[in-house]
Each structure stands twice: as structure tokens, then as C-alpha cells.
């Protein structure tokens, strides 16, 4: 099939590339000329394992192209995916400006029947707005082409997005058109060879499914974090509790890992958006408001532990409590296997450590360039994880990259000024750490 994907952010780039890899001719469109230039040179605007190689192969084979010419892309495609950003507004609502602008531009370029697919995460009712925007543009030009609007939310996890796309848990198709549904089934058929996991429903239910899924996962994270904080107060170990409840098939282990809160481009934005959208219909989402509040507080839990640990050490009068302390930070991205720092817990943690007077040395395998855009020269960026701990008063682990899971602890002890670990992801065993001479702080661990 001939496809265009409007927006070469995380979702658009992965989707377009994977569709091309299954034999479709795909044109990816973006208004950012520099980004398109980079992509045409083989340079990646994001880090996602395996994506660069997949893009290179499909560009070489002629199935994948990048352009700023949306009109050309639409005229040469049957299916037009909208995969532009929907950043949160000041009130938490999703900003649909880019989505509706893309819809209008598609309407302007149409020269016959098209299927317009919302791939962006959008509030319930956006499909109607996209349809109205296209109809308005067609009417303005005196055209009367038929088209169908489809909601096809993405459920990709950063770091394993390609695997998620080609082996999906499910593919949700929201449409009122039997014709569009059949074409979408054909498009996704290469990814349904073993089991048909494609679910067809109405547009509004498809839009709600995406928000409901992310809200549920965010709820599990905030729940286990609250339980972890409670465990610390009563002397229980959250890791044991997690195993005890995770073995219940009704609950499961997924997303029951306590730590410093969730971040990224989806959960924070989507929880805010569903709360805001619900309020517009007179519905108060009390649970999700609490989920958001818990997550905001959780990002500060580790900093409180650091300050409390060093509170007994004297600083000059009226100086911040961590003045003169060198704190090493392992991990900056919101999760491993990505360079994405949107809403990353590291931002809150590092800013609060800086406010408390600390000197920060930080390392991340992929997110250093993104971190520089956020922190500038306020922290030191280190390429080697052991150089981070060299002379450090403590190490704070924020992102659970594999290289941090089993480091050379004896080497760390020799390099550190004081062997103190604040483990924000509970990747180390407390008893093992203490037996090796480390002062260890986890989240909900004893």
C-alpha cells in the first residue's frame, strides 16, 4: 500500500519504518527541514534500539522516503497517518493545534478518496474534529471527495518499540466504516500471522482505550510507590510485598516496580489530559488526580533521603544542606534504552539537589545531549560511569540501565569519598550492599 505518515517524532518514525519494512511504500513528512535533512543523511533524531538499521535498509530498498512536501505525500498515498505531537496546555488538556492543522492540510491536498488515521494520542471526540476540519477545507475549495477517519492509537514502549510494533499485544482500529476497517486489517495483516489481535470498535472507544490504558499503568506505578513509602514506615520490604501480590494472576508483576515515579512523553501528559477532558464533561477523576499527586511527590523522595543522610554533617551557617557535597548520578533518561528526558524524574531530582547546594556529576549511555538542553552548564557530564563516582560523597541511581545493575562494587568503594548509594530503582540487594560496606538507601526496602 501507499502510505504517508505526518510527523517524524517517536511514533511517526517507528510506525512509518515498520510499515515500510513489511513491504509498503511509505513517505514520512515533517515541517522541520533540519530533521528531514538529518533523516535523509541517515542521522537519527531519536535513540531507539534497531531503528537506525531498519531505516537504512528500507531507504536503500526504496520503500521509505522523507520529505517536507505534505501535498506530494498525500497525493501519492491512500492512507494518511497523523502522528504529530499533542503537547499539554497550561490546564493539562491536550493541544490539538498540530493535529487539526495536519487534517486541514490533508484536505487541501486530497484529489480523491483517502483514509485519515489518528495515530497521535488524542482526547475523546478528536476524530469528529478531524473530520470537520477536512470537510471544511474540502468545502472551501469546492471539492467533494469521500474520506474516512480512523483512530489507531499506538501502544509502543520506548526501548522496545520495534518489537512492540511487529509483535503487538493488540491493534485497536476505531472506525464507523466497514471499508476502512478492511483496508486497515489488510495493512496490519503481516503483524497478525500467528494470532489475530486486531480489535475493531467505534472511534470514540478507540480514543478512550489509549487514555484508559496509560491511566491504568500509571495508577499501578503510583500504587506501588505509595505502598513502598508505607513499607518503610512499618519495617516491611516492598520487594517481598511485590512478589506476594504479583503472583496473583489478577494483579501480575507488570508495572509494579517502586522507584522515583514515572516520566516520559505518555503517562504524565495522558493522565493530565484525561483528568481535564473528564472535567469538561462534569466528571471528576479522583483516582487519577491522586495518581498524579503521588507521582509528583515520589520524584522528591530520594532527595529527602540524601538531605537527611547528610543533615548531621555541619555546613556553614545559612548555607544549603548539601553545600560542598559531590553527588554522582547514574541515569538521566526517564527509562532505559532511550534518550527521552520528557518529564524524567532525573530533572526534578537533580534540580532539587542543586537547590540544596550539591555538585552534580552525571552519566547516561544515551541522554547526555538531551540533558545538556535542560541543565546547561549547571552539572558536569561524564562519559564513564566510574568517573562519576570518583570522589563522590554519594551515588544516586535514577535510571536502571543494564550497565548499572552489576558494576564493580569494590572499585566503586575505592573511588568514592564515602560509599553511599541511593538506589532510586531498587536494582541492588540491600543486604548485599551493606555486607560490602556500603550505606544503602532504596525505596521501600529494609
Pairing of strands 420-423, 439-441: parallel
Strand partners, 171: 198
Using CA atoms, how far apart are residues 285 and 291, in angstroms rounded to an integer?
Answer: 10
Q: Please name which of 203, 212, 198 lies closest in space to residue 131, comparing C-alpha atoms.
A: 203
Using CA atoms, how far apart are residues 19 and 2, in angstroms rounded to an integer?
Answer: 10
The active-site residue out of 4, 266, 283, 296 is: 266
Using CA atoms, how far apart are residues 76 and 2, in angstroms rounded to an integer?
Answer: 7
Grid coordinates belonging to 166: 511487529
Using CA atoms, how far apart are residues 260 and 347, in angstroms rounded to an integer?
Answer: 11
> Is 266 among the catalytic positions?
yes
Q: What is the largest CA-CA distance in the chain?
A: 78
Q: Please name which of 108, 107, 203 lies closest in space to residue 150, comparing C-alpha atoms.
A: 203
- List the strands of the sheet with 198-201, edge to edge: 64-67, 25-29, 2-6, 79-82, 114-118, 147-151, 171-174, 198-201
- Supply the residues annotated as catalytic: 266
Amino acid at each position: 500500500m501507499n502510505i504517508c505518515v505526518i510527523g517524524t517524532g517517536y511514533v511517526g518514525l517507528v510506525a512509518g519504518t515498520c510499515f515500510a519494512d513489511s513491504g509498503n511504500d511509505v513517505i514520512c513528512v515533517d515541517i522541520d527541514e533540519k530533521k528531514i535533512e538529518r533523516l535523509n543523511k541517515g542521522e537519527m533524531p531519536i535513540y531507539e534500539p534497531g531503528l537506525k538499521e531498519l531505516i537504512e535498509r528500507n531507504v536503500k530498498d526504496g520503500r521509505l522516503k522523507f520529505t517536507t512536501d505534505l501535498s506530494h505525500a498525500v497525493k501519492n498515498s491512500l492512507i494518511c497517518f497523523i502522528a504529530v505531537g499533542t503537547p499539554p496546555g497550561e490546564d493539562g488538556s491536550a493541544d490539538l493545534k498540530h493535529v487539526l492543522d495536519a487534517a486541514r492540510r490533508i484536505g487541501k491536498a486530497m484529489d480523491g478518496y483517502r483514509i485519515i488515521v489518528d495515530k497521535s494520542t488524542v482526547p475523546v471526540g478528536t476524530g469528529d474534529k478531524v473530520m470537520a476540519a477536512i470537510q471544511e477545507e474540502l468545502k472551501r475549495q469546492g471539492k467533494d471527495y469521500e474520506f474516512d477517519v480512523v483512530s489507531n492509537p499506538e501502544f509502543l514502549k520506548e526501548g522496545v518499540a520495534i518489537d512492540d510494533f511487529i509483535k503487538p499485544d493488540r491493534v485497536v482500529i476505531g472506525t464507523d466504516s466497514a471499508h476502512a476497517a478492511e483496508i486497515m486489517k489488510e495493512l496490519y495483516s503481516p503483524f497478525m500471522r500467528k494470532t489475530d489481535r486486531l480489535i475493531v470498535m467505534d472511534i470514540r472507544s478507540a480514543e478512550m482505550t489509549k487514555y484508559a490504558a496509560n491511566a491504568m499503568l500509571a495508577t499501578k506505578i503510583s500504587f506501588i510507590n505509595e505502598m513502598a513509602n508505607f513499607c518503610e514506615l512499618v519495617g516491611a520490604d516492598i520487594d517481598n510485598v511485590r512478589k506476594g501480590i504479583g503472583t496473583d494472576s489478577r494483579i501480575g508483576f507488570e508495572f509494579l516496580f517502586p522507584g522515583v515515579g514515572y516520566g516520559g512523553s505518555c503517562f504524565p501528559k495522558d493522565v493530565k489530559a484525561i483528568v481535564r477532558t473528564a472535567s469538561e464533561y462534569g466528571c471528576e477523576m479522583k483516582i487519577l488526580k491522586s495518581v498524579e499527586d503521588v507521582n509528583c511527590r515520589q520524584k522528591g523522595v530520594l532527595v529527602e533521603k540524601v538531605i537527611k543522610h547528610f543533615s548531621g554533617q555541619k555546613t556553614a551557617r545559612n548555607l544549603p544542606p548539601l553545600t560542598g557535597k559531590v553527588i554522582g548520578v547514574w541515569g538521566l533518561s526517564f527509562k532505559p534504552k532511550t534518550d527521552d528526558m520528557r518529564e524524567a524524574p532525573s530533572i526534578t531530582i537533580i534540580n532539587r539537589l542543586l537547590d540544596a547546594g550539591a555538585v552534580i556529576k552525571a552519566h547516561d549511555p544515551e541522554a547526555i545531549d538531551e540533558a545538556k538542553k535542560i541543565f546547561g552548564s549547571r552539572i558536569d557530564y561524564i562519559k564513564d560511569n566510574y568517573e562519576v563516582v570518583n570522589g563522590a560523597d554519594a551515588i544516586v541511581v535514577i535510571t536502571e540501565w543494564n550497565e548499572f545493575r552489576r558494576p564493580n562494587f569494590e572499585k566503586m568503594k575505592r573511588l568514592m569519598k564515602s560509599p553511599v548509594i541511593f538506589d532510586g530503582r531498587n536494582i541492588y540487594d540491600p543486604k548485599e550492599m551493606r555486607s560490602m560496606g556500603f550505606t544503602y538507601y532504596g525505596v521501600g526496602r529494609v
